Amino acid sequence: MGEIILDVQNQRTAFATGRGLLQAVEGVSFTLERGKTLGVVGESGSGKSVLSRSIMRLLPGTAITGPGSRVLLNGKDLTGMTEHELRRLRGPEVAIVFQDPMTSLNPVLTIGKQIAEVLVFHMGMSKRAARAKSIELLRAVGLPQPDVRVDQYPHQLSGGMRQRVAIAIAIACEPDLLIADEPTTALDVTVQAEILDLLGRMVRERNMAMILITHDMGVVAGRCDDVAVMYAGRIVEKAPVRELFGNTRMPYTAALLASIPRVTDPPHRKLDAIEGRPPDLINPPPGCPFAPRCRFASAECQQQVPALEGQGAHQYACIKPLNTGVAA
């Protein structure tokens, strides 16, 4: 076993809304080792982003964290930390790459300033050293002409280049854990693979751990060690990537796999292969949250929420698991 970077225990996150309590993340647990990449896959609204914000303790004021929830980063419990203590970890120990680099970069600051800012603050670098380091980082993420680009504004860069900049900022303080929240969803199909390759390379070169969030099973395939499938705020199946693809147990995972976009599909196609809609998170129906959409569901499935269990590394929350390969 490698060094454990992240240990999430029973993370529960709810939002106080006008209609009642919205349970966005419900009892998520997993660990992540150094050098490993965990893919988190799920439909829109399944709680992937809320989970990532919960790990970083970056939730809005309306969020309520469950009393038993614990997040251990490098063995340190983030749950009880003050905002001041958390600030010192964000950047040097955990960093995040957001979906859309156009909105996650400040439009009126040069990219050099945005990288240097972090270096000056966390690493105590001088302005000059920070600038040199910024150029070096931009070169490391494969931005062409880094010494010219460093003085440009985000809008002067293409989407792919902007995401490279966002990655450069995220890795600037050499975090142990990198969270990438749908890092390629807003990008051109042609550069998606490049960005994913870059993230993979950074994780390997810098020996980080990464959580790669996506709603695209295809993204996860060659790039993750383990995959966690999320549905309605829960992990419903979790396994090493080969095992998950080769021996899918949870019907929801099977449905996701069947919905992997094909090259012939139009761009920005939504995940619509699965019939029906995700459950209401404010008044969830009893039983398995996927039951109403599941072909294999029986009355039994509506009784109580199945626990996430299984032998060894492969776990799933289903009382009527598939035992053949991918369901057709």
316 vs 249: CA distance, rounded Å: 7
Task: Say whether 193 sits in a helix, a strand or coil.
Answer: helix
- Find out whether 1 and 31 touch, Cβ atoms under 8 Å: no
Q: Both tokens of residue 15?
A: 């939002």
Q: Is 48 in the site for ligand ATP (CB under 6 A)?
A: yes
Alpha helices in 217-328 (DSSP H): 217-221, 241-246, 251-258
Stretch binding another protein (CB under 8 A), from 8-16, 72-80, 92-100, 285-293? 92-100
Residue nearer to ligand ATP on the CB measure, 46 or 114: 46
How far apart, in whole angstroms, are the C-alpha atoms of residue 9 and residue 30?
7
Task: Determine which residue in the list 11, 49, 114, 184 makes contact with ligand ATP, applying CB under 6 A.
Answer: 49
Work out whether 38 is an interface residue with ligand ATP (CB under 6 A). no
Amino acid, res. 59: L
Number of amino acids touching ligand ATP (CB under 6 A):
16
Site pattern 38..77 for Mg ion (x: CB under 5 A): -----------x----------------------------
Residue 253 as a binder of Mg ion (CB under 5 A): the answer is no
DSSP run (H or E) holding 14: strand 4-17
Which of Mg ion, ligand ATP, another protein, none is residue 254 near (CB under 5 to 8 Å by kind)?
A: none
- Binding residues among 24-83 for another protein as defined by CB under 8 A: 56, 58
Q: Which residue, 183 or 279, is less far from Mg ion as judged by CB?
A: 183
Residue span binding another protein (CB under 8 A) among the ranges 35-43, 70-78, 151-159, 306-314: 151-159
CA dihedral 55, 162, 203, 174 (to 10 degrees): -70
Pattern 108-127, another protein, x by CB under 8 A: xx-------xx--xx-----
